């Protein structure tokens, strides 16, 4: 909050102008998204995320890649981290 102008009148009342900046977080259920992408190929995950409401962009980062499942996300949902960024 930023108060740009304030004045006091004869009765002691104060009048002020203020501006407020807020950051909104989109309303989405991250658990549903993780359930939908677990174990899927990266290309299918990319296609799916493009259809999710309130998703303006995304980045998939691989932390550890096993040779036999290199093109898929982990099947275990607990091994997937979904971060939501707002600007």
The answer for 50, left when phi > 0, alpha when psi is -120 to 50, beta otherwise, is alpha
Question: Is the pLDDT at 25 greater than 80, yes or no?
Answer: no
Integer Cα distance of 69 and 48 in angstroms? 19
Q: Of residues 45 and 8, which shows the higher confidence score? A: 45
Q: Of residues 12 and 74, which shows the higher confidence score? A: 74
What confidence category does residue 14 fall into, taking pLDDT thresholds of 50, 70 and 90?
confident
State pTM to two decimals. 0.63
User: What per-residue confidence (pLDDT) applies to 2?
Assistant: 65
User: Do 87 and 56 touch, CB atoms closer than 8 A?
Assistant: no
User: What per-residue confidence (pLDDT) applies to 66?
Assistant: 65
User: Do 72 and 30 touch, CB atoms closer than 8 A?
Assistant: no
What digits encode the pLDDT tens for the residues 39-74? 999 899 999 998 988 888 888 887 776 666 678 888
Average pLDDT, the chain: 81
């Amino acid at each position: 909050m930023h108060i740009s102008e304030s004045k006091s009148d004869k009765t002691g009342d104060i009048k002020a102008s203020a501006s407020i900046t807020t950051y909104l977080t989109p309303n989405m259920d991250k658990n549903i998204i993780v359930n939908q992408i677990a174990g899927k190929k990266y290309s299918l995950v990319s296609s799916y995320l493009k259809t999710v409401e309130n998703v303006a962009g995304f980045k998939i980062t691989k932390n550890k890649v096993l040779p036999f499942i290199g093109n898929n996300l982990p099947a275990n949902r607990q091994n997937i981290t979904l971060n939501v960024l707002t600007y």
